[in-house]
Structure 1
Amino acid sequence: MLNTVFKDAIINREKMLSILKGPKFEQILQKARERWVEFSPEKEETVTAGIDSSFNNTKYQGIEIWATTAVSIKSDGEILVDMHDSGLGSDMELSKIASKMEIEACEKTIDYVDLVLMDGSLHSQFMTRQSSLDSRVVKTMRKRNNVVFIAKTSNTRKQFENFGSLAGDIFYYNHVTTSPGFSKVLVEKKYGSDKIISSTFVRLSDSTPIIKLEFLGERYGESEIKALMNKLYKTSVGGYPYALKLAHNNCKISDKEIAKMISLLGLSNEIGSREVLS
């Protein structure tokens, strides 16, 4: 069955790609070229910390066994904050628990480093509709204005939607340039005057992946983006901040670790439909 699916995909490759690009593909690419600012950053000494969180869970006899972690770690490997929580429950909103832990880790980090890098999107923080958490995010980010959200991937389609774009903005930038630089800053005010988000797509080194940077407020112009790129460039590997890579590796909760937790509790996995099918 899968071989047939793969064969059909190969046969219909051009048709599928033409749908992805859309009828105004070349027009959008031209706009992407116009919005891209070429800039090769220079290394600047900066004390940087990356913050990331993780969660995982499994079911046992109708109840959920879960664990969450969050970590703040400097580029040199020094762990500043190590948070974790676990338990038994049902219908747990683990993503919200993890988001709260990330903000707590950020609160405990901002005074000890020059730059705090948060994994993910500022949009996702505001979209959770946790008003109390929103105010903490805003207060924390405004304290020293040294917090940046960084995402490896992005599905946003704000910059070229007026031209009928079908793919995310990052898709078109990846098609027009392999050089280091950044896109002109986009300002969004849909969450209110106190939650304005400015964003830009950035490539730190030649032929490396593009990342998305998001900031709170609208005071970010080309000079601010260039200064930030200089700070990120010093401790980035393959175009991605090393502190965030360390944060991810140090907080990830694997299925094996959940299985170990179950074993320590003296429980065993519930036998379900997947076991029957295998």
Structure 2
Amino acid sequence: MGMHHNDHRRTKAIAAAVGTLAVAITAVTFTSSQAADDQVADPAKATATLRDKASTPGTAWAVDPTTNRVLVTADSTVTGARWDNLVSTVEGMGPGVRLERAPGVFRLFAEGGDAIFAGGSRCSLGFNVTTDDGRPGFLTAGHCVAGGRQFSLSPGGRPAATVVESTFPGNGDFALFTYDNRATDAPGEVDTGNGQRVRIRRAAQAQVGRQVQRMGSTTGLRSGRVTGLNATVNYPEGRVTGLIQTSVCAEGGDSGGPLFARNGDAIGLTSGGSGDCRSGGVTFFSPVTAALAATNSRLQ
């Protein structure tokens, strides 16, 4: 892709930065029975009910598998009759389902800007990979492909990578790109800034409560915790399922950036969320294990 000769630019792209601040969701919490907190919901039944009755833009839900409780989140656009319907739905589902408000609006974290570029859009590189035919490539968010099927390393720059396949909306938010130059040096590292790097050692499943970090081209290195699994988010652009919910903040341009642990576990790819890194918010990630399996690729 012709970028291996420019170490600074390459490692900056490989870094794809985002989030360190864990911020609580703001809002009133509703349960159907405050006196029965020891009871749990059937998560499969609960999520099916939510899909049928609460699939409106601005809503999301995730499961804590350690308790089988379901957390439903609504952004600031869910008001009036839609909010009343959501409250009524949650209250009728049992004490294991909880409803909270998130600050801001659920949106995809892509914008015009720095890191990897397609047209007027900017996203962040996630993890470098090797494809099943041995080509160097990388994973990023699937919704980033809306900006174009080729990415460059600077606004209006020469194309450096081309999309092979992508998923969005649907079961995940991920895309596989291959570098146009097969000789591209694409190490399995995340550049966390100030000359520091984390060597990526393996792909790992997310676990609720685990401390995680994220890199992105807008907000740099951020950290927080995993708060839910198998999350569904109803973006304005469509429903995305199978996501990881976290307390890590993110902003526009951070999309596609890596979610990982300090020990080198690769965990996810930044999708979207609400809030920002000043006020905090909720951010969702596409599991890297699912992305690798779907694209028949492996981490570098």
| Same fold at TM > 0.5 | no
TM-score (ref. length: structure 1): 0.24
Identify, as 1 or 2, the structure richer in strand.
Answer: 2
TM-score (ref. length: structure 2): 0.23
